[in-house]
Amino acid sequence: MSRELFWLTLTTILPGLMWTPYIIDRVMVRGLMGAMDNPSPNAKPHSPWARRQMNAHDNAVENLVIFATLVLIASAVYFWARLAHYIIYTMGVPVLRTLTFVAAFAAQLVLVLAIFRLV
């Protein structure tokens, strides 16, 4: 597994686990049956910390779509550029060889800059 997919996997698992503490709070505040009831505006509210966790969880889920898409796009650009570079290099086409190499390098650069938060 590539580093990008490793971190993407961990980043996906994280919001998959973030709901558990505030569900425990829901059970503590509303009781087991109240926690399993349908959502209602009349339900007893969560503790303030649990509400903040719910907001952080929502934010993580919303941003996961953007993060995952960018990681996959950069990885896909790198893959296809490297494949094209290999084929074009083998065919002996000088200008396209350089352009495909630069495209692959640009994909790497985007990921590096993202890692160092320069983009």
Task: Residue count of the chain, please give it.
Answer: 119
With bands split at pLDDT 50, 70 and 90, how would you rate the model's confidence at 119? Answer: very low
With bands split at pLDDT 50, 70 and 90, how would you rate the model's confidence at 44? Answer: very high
Q: Tell me the CA end-to-end span of the chain in Å, nearest whole number.
A: 25
pTM for this prediction: 0.65
| pLDDT tens per residue across span 72-117 | 888 899 989 999 999 999 999 999 999 999 999 998 888 888 778 7
| pLDDT tens per residue across span 6-27 | 888 888 999 999 999 999 999 9
